[in-house]
């Protein structure tokens, strides 16, 4: 009797590399914005055969700045629309800096637009500046709404100035910034009614597409998508655990959390469905690698919203937007890595310390011993991974130069890649010290909590 041949061993399949979601390159995003601005300037150039006299030059300057302002407003909204490829590729921190710079530029361009148009029209009509301004606002189509939108925009720009912003809690700044949406909507009509360069053809259609497309993307990513994620994942507060003075860790549970595809180093905007908290979505970083059954965030009392988090009760529903941010392991290019953090900035570094490959050194800067966070956790991770943990504790006068202190703790500092997160003052000092120690700028990855 013939016997059956033994089964052939199954072929070994190579495990597919994890697929990361699409991410836009920062230079590609800036190139696209610049190309759009050049296209806007081309509208004026093609529609302006000649410019003569002071009135013509002033009016021309008003048309150019008006077109640029009309283009910049939706672009700035898109930068903060939380588009996933842009957030992942550029990073929320860099996007916020671009948005802040663009906002200052927009305020300046709008100011020049108003002044040059009124002055140019006044010279043409033989009126004074005040009289011409009143004539334009009250008798030109859509101009009354545009004037209100301009005042709102300039007011938002004033409260966004660094000196004023430092005096505002995050929640007040967040609500005031919502006025920019109304300002852009109010100003849109006059661009079509009085914008001679937009005409009735492709330029007008492109303008509509820009504004309506921006509105659609904002509606989806800022409203509809968070609502759908909330329905799918049903996040709830499971535990609030004290970590230190004014610092708590928040554990959230929910359904299908692995489908969020969150990465260590990223953050979510959390909207707690509790009295006084449900109308603001504040950013909080993951302070541990995400798990299929829970997410952990660590929150420091920096304002009304974050202080109220400590009093949340288990079972409180949470709406989460995210994950966001490019401060992840995908930035790593070298095996030696320094993680440098201070204050609540240690939270994303805590998650990265557990997951980044290579030779890791974590340095935590704190003013007092009681301000050091995760001491036992970090020591356990360091023991398990063969990594190093150091603390720089005390006032600046005792620590001395940060660069020298780091050089003592981290041999071959110039050969390290650096993940840096903390208050702006420390981060700026650290960047200067690291650059002086020979660390290349491209190896310093910085996350800021400034708003």
Residue 382 — pLDDT band, cuts 50, 70, 90?
A: very high
Of 158-172, 249-263, 275-289, 370-384, least confident by mean pLDDT is 158-172
Mean pLDDT value across the chain: 85
Q: So what's the pLDDT on residue 6?
A: 36
Task: For the chain, give every domain's residue range.
Answer: 26-220, 234-324, 331-447
CATH 2.40.30.10 is right for the domain spanning 234-324? yes
Sheet-wide strand order for 318-324: 282-285, 267-272, 318-324
CA-to-CA separations, 331 to 224, 289, 313, 348, 441, in angstroms, rounded = 30, 17, 37, 14, 13
**Does the pLDDT of residue 238 top 60, yes or no?**
yes
> Strand 267-272 vs strand 318-324: parallel, antiparallel, or unpaired?
antiparallel
399 pLDDT more than 50 = yes
Largest CA distance in the chain: 115
Q: What pTM value is reported for the model?
A: 0.76
The pLDDT of residue 304: 63
Residue bearing the bigger pLDDT, 327 or 13: 327
- pLDDT of 233: 93
Position 253 scores a pLDDT of 95
Measured distance between the N- and C-terminal CA atoms of the chain, rounded to whole angstroms: 81
Question: Mean pLDDT across the stretch 108-128?
Answer: 92
36 has pLDDT over 90? yes
- pLDDT tens-place string over residues 245-294: 888 999 999 999 999 989 999 999 898 988 877 777 788 999 999 999 99
Mean pLDDT (whole number) for 121-139 = 90
Quote the Cα angle for 239-244-245, to 5°: 115
Instruction: Tell me the C-alpha distance between 195 and 210, whole Å.
Output: 16
Please determine, for residue 3, whether its predicted confidence score (pLDDT) is greater than 50: no
- pLDDT per residue as tens digits for the range 184-193: 998 988 888 8
Model confidence at 450: pLDDT above 70: no
Please state, in angstroms and rounded to a whole number, the distance separating the CA atoms of residues 327 and 445. Answer: 7
Task: Give residue 389's pLDDT.
Answer: 95
* Residue 96 structure tokens: 């916020």
Rounded Cα distance between 196 and 199, Å, is 6
Domain 331-447 has CATH 3.40.50.80: yes
- Beta 282-285 vs 236-244: how paired, if at all? unpaired
Specify the pLDDT at position 170: 63
Could you tell me which residue, 277 or 347, shows the higher pLDDT?
Answer: 347
What would the mean pLDDT of 97-117 be, rounded to a whole number? 91
- Please give the distance of CA 352 from its chain centroid, rounded to a whole number: 19
pLDDT for residue 158: 77
Q: pLDDT band for position 162 (50/70/90)?
A: low
């Amino acid at each position: 009797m013939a016997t059956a041949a033994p089964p052939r061993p199954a072929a070994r399949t190579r495990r597919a590399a994890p697929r990361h979601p699409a991410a836009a390159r920062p230079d590609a995003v800036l190139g696209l914005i610049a190309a759009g601005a050049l296209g806007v300037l081309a509208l004026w150039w093609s529609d302006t055969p000649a410019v003569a006299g002071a009135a013509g030059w002033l009016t021309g300057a008003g048309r150019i700045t008006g077109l640029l302002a009309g283009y910049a407003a939706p672009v700035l909204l898109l930068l903060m629309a939380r588009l996933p490829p842009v957030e992942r590729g550029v990073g929320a921190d860099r996007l916020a800096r671009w948005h802040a710079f663009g906002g200052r530029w927009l305020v300046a361009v709008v100011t020049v637009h108003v002044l040059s148009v009124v002055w140019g029209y006044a010279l043409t009509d033989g009126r004074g500046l005040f009289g011409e301004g009143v004539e334009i606002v009250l008798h030109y189509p859509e101009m009354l709404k545009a004037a209100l939108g301009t005042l709102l925009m300039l007011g938002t720009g004033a409260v966004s100035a660094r000196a004023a912003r430092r005096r505002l809690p995050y929640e007040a700044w967040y609500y005031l910034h919502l006025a920019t949406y109304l300002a852009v909507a109010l100003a849109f009509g006059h661009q079509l009614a009085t914008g001679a360069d937009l005409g009735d053809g492709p330029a007008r259609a492109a303008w509509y597409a820009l504004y309506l497309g921006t509105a659609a993307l904002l509606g989806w990513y800022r409203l509809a998508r968070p609502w759908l994620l909330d329905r799918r994942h049903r996040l709830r507060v499971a535990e609030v655990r004290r970590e230190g003075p004014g610092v708590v860790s928040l554990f959230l549970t929910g359904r299908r959390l692995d489908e969020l595809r969150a990465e260590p180093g990223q953050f979510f905007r959390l909207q707690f469905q509790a009295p006084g908290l449900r109308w603001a979505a504040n950013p909080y970083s993951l302070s541990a690698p995400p798990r299929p059954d829970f997410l952990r965030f660590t929150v420091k009392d920096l304002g009304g919203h974050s202080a109220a988090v400590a009093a949340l009760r288990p079972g409180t529903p949470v709406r989460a937007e995210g994950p966001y941010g490019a401060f992840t392991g995908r930035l790593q290019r070298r095996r030696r890595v320094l993680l440098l953090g201070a204050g609540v900035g240690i939270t994303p570094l805590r998650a990265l310390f557990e997951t980044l490959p290579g030779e890791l050194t974590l340095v935590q800067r704190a003013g007092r011993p009681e301000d050091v966070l995760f001491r036992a956790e970090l020591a356990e991770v360091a023991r398990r991974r063969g990594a190093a943990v150091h603390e720089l504790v005390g006032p600046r006068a005792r620590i001395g130069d940060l660069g020298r202190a780091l050089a003592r703790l981290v041999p071959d500092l110039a050969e390290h890649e650096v993940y840096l997160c903390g208050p702006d003052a420390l981060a700026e000092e650290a960047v200067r010290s690291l650059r002086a120690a020979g660390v290349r700028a491209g190896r310093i990855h910085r996350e800021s909590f400034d708003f």
